[in-house]
Amino acid sequence: MSSSHDCTRLRVNNNLYLLRGSDFVIINNTVSWVTVDLDLTVLMMSNGSLFKLDTASASFNFYANTALTTNPTSCQIETANNHIAVIGQSATTAEVFIYADDTNNSPKRIFDFSYVGYSGIPKVAFSPNLTKIVIVGTVNSSLKIDSFNIDYSSLTSNTVDFPLEPITGASTISIVLG
């Protein structure tokens, strides 16, 4: 069993529940989902479609189709401030897509990243508000680092340069995504 951070949503096996008054009710439309975010508000179906929780109707409603090429059962969903990040990883591939609502409250994919050719499963890290992304992997015995900044006010993203030169005194340096 797991619960949302505020304990108003529960997951028991493949069933999701929503607190209504003093009782938990089962959330509809959750039969074929394959992954859900930690807060139990966004889920992905086996075809890669995203669904968002509508607490008023206690159901998940279609939100967007993803462009994933990796298997949805191995994907992750991260959420923050009504923003959604979908991460797909395999032994050689990293995919990251970020969605945000535009001014009409319609979903807009504002960030796409896809790279095939890693020598092992790459690591993907986000800042708590999903405004910074770092993707680290190995390609042909060399380190490949991609980092990005997401600007939700303009619904855009840009590349952040990351130094690849040797760092001296590395034991005293930490990287913080914030």
- Band of pLDDT at residue 132, cut at 50, 70 and 90: very high
**Which pLDDT does position 168 carry in this prediction?**
59
pLDDT score recorded for residue 173: 58
Asked whether residue 81 is assigned to any structural domain, the reply reads yes
**Range 136-163 average pLDDT:** 89
| Nearest alpha-carbon partner for 134 in 162, 112, 156, 92 | 162
Q: Based on the structure, what is the number of domains in the chain?
A: 1
Question: Which is it for the CA torsion 13, 5, 78, 29, positive or negative?
Answer: positive
Closest by Cα among 154, 136, 156, 133 to 144: 136
* pTM, to two decimals: 0.84
Please say whether the dihedral angle defined by the alpha carbons of residues 10, 16, 18 and 23, taken in this order, is positive or negative: negative
pLDDT digit string (tens) for 8-65? 999 998 889 999 999 999 987 666 788 999 999 999 988 889 999 988 989 999 999 8
Does residue 122 fall inside a structural domain?
yes
On whether residue 95 sits in a domain, the answer given is yes
Residue 55 lies in a domain: no
Domain membership of residue 28 (yes or no) is no
What's the domain range around 100? 66-161
Q: How far apart are the first and last CA of the chain?
A: 30
